[in-house]
Structure 1
Amino acid sequence: MKLGFLYAGQGAQHPGMGADLYEKYPAFRAALDGADAGFDLKTVSFSDPDGVLNETQYTQPCMVAFAVGLTDVLAEKGIVPAAAAGLSLGEYSALYAAGVLDGRTAVEIAAFRGRAMADAAAGVESAMIAVLGADRETVAAACAEASALGVAEPCNFNCPGQIVIGGEKAAVEKAAALARERGARRCMPLKVSGPFHTSLLKPAGDALRRRFETVAFREPKIPVLHNCLGGQRTAEDTIPALLERQVQSSVYMEDCIRAMAALGVDAMVEIGPGRALSGFVKKTLPGFPVLAVETAEEVEKLPELLKEVESR
């Protein structure tokens, strides 16, 4: 059975994530114990006593360490991906699953990326708003018109009818108002700390480019669907260049999901925390098998659930 792994992005984190996995599985413990994020990663992930888990520089390494550990646990059970993708930050976890980065390096880069993104967003009065019920052309046109007030760009194409716009607050709010006037069903402000995946994050991209000069990227063992392409890279693309581009340009998650299905996977497995990507799959490919796994209980149930999918 061919599985596509989907890795959650920033926003799905919550205190307590991974605590039961750490207690039960040595592979998960090894991943977290071996990670170096520059702070006590386990304390932040499990109890977050100082309330910092939702801060970008803490969120990102915690999420990647969780994904690395859970990927290792599933591998011990013979559950491995035939293809991988991730939402934004989740792309780093997908690269780990593909053998491009080792776990320790993936966490270290995620910590660096979180700091670089926080630095780039500092001092910018920004906003991100999810536009529901509008097509890509409508949202793009609204952003183009609103750009007279500042940066307003589509930054996440999550699934049909769900597009996130981001940038400078006044321009983003204008773009959302224009989208509503042109038929959008609803516009929802998001609680985020910066204009992620917009051109305002170019300083973070520049910092990542310099950081990547010291990182060894291996060839992927399985296909990886890249956010900024909405599919696999070409011979002209390098992974470091794509990651530099990713942080400051649109995430085409809907396209990645479609591309993964086109590779012939039989089911997709969301590596949590959260179930946002499962929702995207259901809206993008109605009826396509998708399962989510986050807890030790769900890990234990997963083999049987996959057998059920296979027997359909």
Structure 2
Amino acid sequence: MTETAPPARLKARYLEEIRPALIGRFGYTSVMQAPRLEKITLNMGVGEAKQDSKALKAAVDQLATIAGQQPSVRRARKSIAAFKLREGMPVGVAVTLRGERSYEFLDRLVSIAIPRIRDFRGLNPRSFDGRGNYSMGVKEQIIFPEVDYDAIDQVRGLDITITTTAASDAEAFALLYAFGMPFASQGRPKGFNEAAGVEPEPAPAEPEPEPAVEEPQPEPEPAVEEPQAEVAVEEPPAEAQPEPEPDTAPAEPQAAAEEPGVQTSAEQAESDDAQEAEPEQQANGEKESSD
């Protein structure tokens, strides 16, 4: 008798925790109304397969290693001359996961692969298609630990589409958020604000501790301010005044000739002697006349 494998960890969590929480938040009347995971589609484009057949085989092996299921080759539906593409040429590989494998892949994607993305800042919460389906792109297949980096021929990206049974993007967002999808904090899908209770219930807040009663403390005595010593303010030194320049003007020449009518000191002395000699001469004349 063969033993059945235990259910996927994410599926067991959905049945026990996530589905009852969604029913309570959205008010479903039936268990079948609760959104659930339907399928996951992986698609890897191989444009160089039309020239190199080995590239197609390498892509098939890598996608089979990632998904755990053999992928199928996708071929061109019509010819396009601009891309040198003819109808029926291989252009990529794809695989669809359902049931237990879809839950197992989603668990590995959320827990292991996405945290290994370089410079990861959260998934875009607006990448829903309006009918409850979410699509995302991966630039490097080496984020999955099953892929050996030394064994690959080149780095390739792949597209991941998660299909749910949700009737709206808000319900699908609540489902994937409960699964642990790391959405960015900014932005929400269309209709998210109209739906009530989409966000997971916050953890109960811890009761605030009662404020401690502070004992009255004696008021401190007012401090007596000591008079502050006056600080002498030094006056800035006066600016040196420039010395007056010497008067270099030429001296006025003395008058060459004295003014007329003005007697000098020698002439004044001669005139005084003459006046004194006049009475003596008169007296001598009178004496001679009497003799």
User: Comparing both structures, which one devotes a greater share of its residues to helix?
Assistant: 1
TM over 0.5: no
Question: Quick check: which has more Rg, 1 or 2?
Answer: 2
TM-score, normalising length: structure 2: 0.25
TM-score, normalising length: structure 1: 0.24
